Structure 1
Amino acid sequence: MRRAAVQAFRTTFQYTARGLGRRPFTTSLPTTAARRLLSSTSTTAARRTLKNHSNATGVPPPLLENIKNNNSSLPLPPPLQSSMYYRRASVVLASALVGYGAWYSYNGTDVNNVPIKRGYSTTTTTDTSTADTSLPTRNVLVISADQLHTGTIVGDGPISKTTSEDGTRVIEMLNPEQATEKLRKLEESYLVNRGQGVVRYDLVQLPSNDPIEDDHTEKIIEIQPATSEKGGNDWMFWGVFDGHSGWTTSAKLRQTLVSFVARELNQTYQESNNDLSGPGVEAAIRKGFLKLDDEIVNQSVQKVMRANNKTMAAELLAPALSGSCALLSFYDSRSKLLRVACTGDSRAVLGRRTESGKWTATPLSVDQTGSNVDEASRLRREHPNEPYVVRNGRVLGGLEPSRAFGDASYKWTREISERLRKHFFARSVSPALKTPPYVTAEPVITTTRIEPERGDFVVMATDGLWEMLTNEEVIGLVGKWIDAQQQKEGKQSGLFDSVWSRTFGGGGSSKDGPGGLPVEVSKVEEVEGQKTPFRGVRQWGGNDGFVVEDANVATHLVRNALGGKNREQVSALLTLPAPFSRRYRDDLTVQVIFFGEGEGKGEVVVNREASKGVKGEGARAKL
């Protein structure tokens, strides 16, 4: 019999927990069939069913499209009422080795009555005389309800993930190489050699919920030229969808939102003599958003009532019962105008280089939540006799985003909800529900003229990134990454060769922005209605600095949001399993689009160097 000891740790960081998300505080689960569809971790069949019942009608000529599909919920834990700590504490843990398997369990005290100590605020010395120093030493996390400790454990057997009565778990930490592998698991990068003003886009996802509730889409639609014209142009779409209370709504948006918007844009395009520079474009995008939400929330109910079938009800109502924010960017290569449509609190920020070589950060969307003064005022105007329509920054005190797809319990009338509950299933009707709908999918749209010749880029991300980093930090980190690519032995690291150098080369960078980043400091202290970061560097109480280690710039942003050079912090955050991880970080989906004067080869190819998440022939052109 051997002993294993968890050795001396030092206290480091403290985190005060905040409200954790967008899900209503009180909900009721649907019937068994719907619950299985909404929350099962084995989701393949459910996704297939959802896809079969989604609107898959294509965009009419002259549009050609291929949709790139990516899938992905575990209920969020309730908001914490106490402070949460991440620390290295002095802990002693012994366990028995049985045969060739060593299973370490944690039950508040060790199996040999050696007391477990924790909460030390200074470095302490632990008696390790009973530990066999010939055995390997590994880092572990000790997770309790309101505290997180890191430490080392001596032994070569697997560490069990059994849970004690107080919910405490011991989990082996990922090493830096494993952490990097997890970060890069879902990364993709594409080189756009079409000569239409876009040269590359990178994306990455990092789940916190299991399965991930975020989703995304990227699509290029080639506009066929009229008989009297030479050459065509591209309509390019990028979207990030931040799901809540499940993954089904965000999956529905991935499947159909671009198609709904493109149909409306095509009609406007034909009616305006092939011109997409007028105000009708925003109206078309808005119409596409609202039509899709009507299909999700209202038309699904009509189909369910007519069919009177509970299995079909589970399939059709799933996207209505969950919800999702949506951030969709539309770039028209002919006009060089970028429209950003935002429903919810995901965010897009433009990076543009100045004459000094630094970058400026310009938000292209506004976070739409109950904490946004304008959104709260709008809701109060629309519901004048309801003083609690916005409470604690949430719609009816429950939902954080004031605009979203799905979330039908905030849109259906009381009569519809009660009828669905009686014959099929639906969420409990809130006593505060008086004059629905309270939530809308109508987007707020901004229009920006892109300057590809100056190397503009746009970062789009769900709010999990913006909870950790400011706009300036994100844009500065991309600028820092661009500088690093130019300094790699003068070979552009396989990016675009002459295209990348022509777009981003020269000018130099002045790194006197926040954190030594090449970015201008905003003269505006805070954008009205925009949430400020409270996780990440701020959550852990310190940071060792930013780092450039990834070929994919979206992965680079996520790594630095989690801690950058502080490898222990990055590994700890990536080691945490669901649902514990949700207390410290949200699902993360990040897209970065680089504009520039690319070559007109008419193709989109995978950038293998930065695409660990693309396997085999799945790396096909996004046309």
Structure 2
Amino acid sequence: MQRAAVRAAVASARAPSFLLRNRRPPNVGAARTLATNAFTNGAAGSTSYIRKFTLAIVSSLVLGSAYIAYKGSNPFLARVSLLSNSDDQTAFSGNVKDDVRIRKIVAVDHESLYTGTLPADGRLTKDTLDGRGGRKVLEMLTPEEATAKLRQSEESYLVGRERGVYRYDVVQLPSNDPIEDDHAERIIEVPSSVTAADEGKASTDWMFWGVFDGHSGWYTSAKLRQLLIGFVARELNATYKASSANPKSKIPSPEAIDAAIKQGFLRLDNEIIHESVEKVLKGSSKPAAAELLAPAFSGSCALLAFYDSQTNLLRVACTGDSRAVLGRRQTDGKWAATALSVDQTGSNKDEAQRIRDEHPGEEFAVSNGRVLGGLEPTRAFGDSLYKWSVETQNIIKSKYLGRTPSPRLKTPPYVTAEPVVTTTKIQPEKGDFVVMATDGLWEMLSNEEVVGLVAKWLEGQNKVKNPSAASRISSFFGFGGDSQKNLPLATNHDGNQDDDGQRVPIRQKQYGIKAQDDRFIITDQNCATHLVRNALGGKDSDMVCALLTLQSPYSRRYRDDLTVEVIFFGEGDKSGNVVVNEVASSKSKTQ
């Protein structure tokens, strides 16, 4: 009986909206008849109806049967409020707005997601077992609560170094629990004796920004947060010192600088993958082995930007499928989006061919767009199962922990941490900016949408430090004033990557988003938060609230962990300091 009620509720939720409008069944039996008719007549319809968040809304499908058992035999359908895409609302127990006992909830049914309502006294709860006490409640976030969740980790810094960067914004939004992403930023003042700086300059700034997209755990990305910038900086320091001692060439060649960055990446991955095994085999402690090997068993992509204030050169080193995009104003006053990295996955034809060339005759070296049919990124830190030999994996399994090697593993390593490095001449005087983000953002927004949103945010904030850039920013892509129209909109939602190997925003197809000129909104002081909000639905407050209400592990079906950094080039104040921008940072970051 309980299962029948749940099925009826699910069927009514999947019905096209025209079947739900102006239908007020006089009793529960009629409600079941309506649900059955809706299921047989319309449930097999367009998937855009099934996946659209604000379609027909039903009470909790996650634990609906548990709620029926709690309330008794039939009240489940008797208290449901069905909402259509129109402003019409019908309810079995009166108008939702007039019933303070009704609260919004989010429900998950297989791969579909719905928003709905639930009586306040029937909320789904779970006592936590983490030793801290407390209770989790499955309840739709209000717009205010959603905004608080979006902003809880945001950071913004004002850079008064007079070295070509005046601000950078950062935000993270978890989907996994805990978040598997990480990030790191560092500014290193390097003496002129190392960099051969121009006369009159006592030092040069090396500025680093990194975003790290972990998978199969948070351990590898945390290791990168702690160590990667230091490893790269040491290699750069050695390279610059060697060149400064050479009377013929005091500045390293571009190839030497790129090689130093790559060497820093590879040395850290060697420590994670191979040196950890050496340390484990020398000892006999399983707890120590678990700690040492955790970053090797999990994995992480890495995107690192290195800016040299002396040359205004920005180098972006990419290992994996995080992405950096440059926003630059053109001579006609419009802004263009230029990718500074290429997504490195098995769906990238060049990357797939590289691996096949390195492992000739191995049919499953790349299968279904994944390495050995399992791992999507073709370059990553950690991921020892794709790097260790069969012998090493068997030793680790027998003595400590691990799993049986894949039968497809023949000639490892299949995955490398070596990055692809690109170099771009930054033009601070023109107000260049760069967006760095893990792949969770790029499966929601295109490069052009992201650059357009940043440019629109700059206009709305009226905080462009460079007057020449501010004077014409409203001409971006042909829009001006407060109009939201004419922002670039992604249209390619088919497939996983475009012809250039870049991920396309496939989530928009999953969510049923149409190319609406007015779907974006500007309401955040932090630009990175602004991008995340618009990636999750923008003006569609219900969608934003629904996506933010979902908890792990269900949330991972609809959104990934998100880490976004926005770097603004130009000249700030002359204090020489880096300070927290309090208006765009959460309270926890300003204290």
State the TM-score, normalizing by the size of structure 1: 0.77
Aligned residue among 471, 474, 486 for 1:509: 474
Q: 1:327, 1:341 within 8 Å by CA — same for their partners in 2?
A: yes
Distance 2:93 2:164 in 1: 63
Q: Which residue does the alignment assign to 2:110?
A: 145
SS at match of 2:192: coil
Q: 1:185, 1:612 within 8 Å by CA — same for their partners in 2?
A: yes
Aligned residue among 209, 218, 222 for 2:176: 209
Distance 1:522 1:141 in 2: 28
Question: Which amino acid letter does the alignment assign opposite residue 559 of structure 1?
Answer: R
Q: 1:105, 1:162 within 8 Å by CA — same for their partners in 2?
A: no
**1:534 and 2:506 correspond:** yes
Q: 1:363, 1:471 within 8 Å by CA — same for their partners in 2?
A: yes
Q: Which residue does the alignment assign to 1:405?
A: 381
**1:159 and 2:123 correspond:** yes
SS at match of 1:242: strand
**1:112 and 2:88 correspond:** no
Q: Which residue does the alignment assign to 1:31?
A: none
Distance 1:579 1:520 in 2: 30
Q: 2:51, 2:512 within 8 Å by CA — same for their partners in 1?
A: no
The 5-angstrom pairing of residues 161-560 of structure 1 reads 161=125, 171-226=138-193, 230-273=201-244, 274-276=250-252, 278-486=254-462, 492=463, 500-502=465-467, 504-510=469-475, 512=477, 516-517=485-486, 526-536=498-508, 539-542=511-514, 545-560=519-534
Cα deviation 1:189-212 (Å, max 9, x = unaligned): 000000000000000000000000
Cα deviation 1:363-422 (Å, max 9, x = unaligned): 000000000000000011000010111110000000000000000010000000000000
Q: 2:165, 2:568 within 8 Å by CA — same for their partners in 1?
A: yes
Distance 1:355 1:521 in 2: 24
Assess, with a 3 A threshold, how the Cα gap between structure 1 residues 118 and 399 changes in structure 2: closer, same or farther: farther
SS at match of 1:86: coil
Distance 2:539 2:14 in 1: 19
Q: 1:188, 1:203 within 8 Å by CA — same for their partners in 2?
A: yes
C-alpha displacement of 1:148: 1.9
Cα deviation 1:328-384 (Å, max 9, x = unaligned): 000000011000000000000000012333210000000000000000000110000
Distance 1:312 1:349 in 2: 40
Q: 1:321, 1:427 within 8 Å by CA — same for their partners in 2?
A: no
Q: 1:245, 1:323 within 8 Å by CA — same for their partners in 2?
A: yes
Assess, with a 3 A threshold, how the Cα gap between structure 1 residues 219 and 195 changes in structure 2: closer, same or farther: same
Question: Which amino acid letter does the alignment assign opposite residue 385 of structure 1?
Answer: G
C-alpha displacement of 1:509: 2.2
Assess, with a 3 A threshold, how the Cα gap between structure 1 residues 511 and 596 changes in structure 2: closer, same or farther: closer
SS at match of 1:194: coil
Q: Which residue does the alignment assign to 2:91?
A: 126
SS at match of 1:279: helix
Q: Which moved more, 1:105-114 or 1:278-287?
A: 105-114
Q: 1:9, 1:151 within 8 Å by CA — same for their partners in 2?
A: no
For structure 1, the residue ranges without an aligned partner over 5 or more in a row are 1-5, 14-82, 94-102, 164-168, 487-491, 493-498, 618-623
The structure whose residues are more often helix, as a share, is 2
Distance 1:416 1:318 in 2: 15
Assess, with a 3 A threshold, how the Cα gap between structure 1 residues 256 and 411 changes in structure 2: closer, same or farther: same
Identical counterparts, % of pairs: 55
Distance 1:263 1:311 in 2: 31
SS at match of 1:600: coil
Question: Which amino acid letter does the alignment assign opposite residue 150 of structure 2?
Answer: L
Q: Which residue does the alignment assign to 1:600?
A: 574
Distance 1:188 1:536 in 2: 27
Distance 2:227 2:340 in 1: 23
SS at match of 1:161: strand
Q: 1:235, 1:332 within 8 Å by CA — same for their partners in 2?
A: yes
C-alpha displacement of 1:9: 7.8
Question: Which amino acid letter does the alignment assign opposite residue 248 of structure 1?
Answer: Y
Q: 1:9, 1:150 within 8 Å by CA — same for their partners in 2?
A: no
For structure 2, the residue ranges without an aligned partner over 5 or more in a row are 1-8, 18-49, 128-135, 245-249
Cα deviation 1:17-56 (Å, max 9, x = unaligned): xxxxxxxxxxxxxxxxxxxxxxxxxxxxxxxxxxxxxxxx
C-alpha displacement of 1:507: 1.4
Cα deviation 1:507-542 (Å, max 9, x = unaligned): 14235469735669999x945111111114752333
C-alpha displacement of 1:549: 0.3
Q: Which moved more, 1:185-194 or 1:600-609?
A: 600-609
Question: Which amino acid letter does the alignment assign opposite residue 564 of structure 2?
Answer: V
Assess, with a 3 A threshold, how the Cα gap between structure 1 residues 225 and 465 changes in structure 2: closer, same or farther: same
State the TM-score, normalizing by the size of structure 2: 0.81
Q: Which residue does the alignment assign to 1:585?
A: 559
Question: Which amino acid letter does the alignment assign opposite residue 548 of structure 2?
Answer: L
Q: 1:87, 1:148 within 8 Å by CA — same for their partners in 2?
A: no
Assess, with a 3 A threshold, how the Cα gap between structure 1 residues 407 and 119 changes in structure 2: closer, same or farther: farther
C-alpha displacement of 1:111: 2.1
Assess, with a 3 A threshold, how the Cα gap between structure 1 residues 272 and 517 changes in structure 2: closer, same or farther: farther
Question: Which amino acid letter does the alignment assign opposite residue 257 of structure 1?
Answer: L
Question: Which amino acid letter does the alignment assign opposite residue 452 of structure 2?
Answer: G
Assess, with a 3 A threshold, how the Cα gap between structure 1 residues 588 and 527 changes in structure 2: closer, same or farther: same
Cα deviation 1:426-480 (Å, max 9, x = unaligned): 2331000000000000000000000000000000000000000000000000000
Distance 2:70 2:55 in 1: 18
Distance 2:57 2:308 in 1: 59
C-alpha displacement of 1:159: 1.5
Distance 1:551 1:537 in 2: 29
Distance 2:490 2:365 in 1: 37
**Alpha carbon RMSD of aligned pairs, Å?**
3.3
Distance 1:265 1:132 in 2: 62
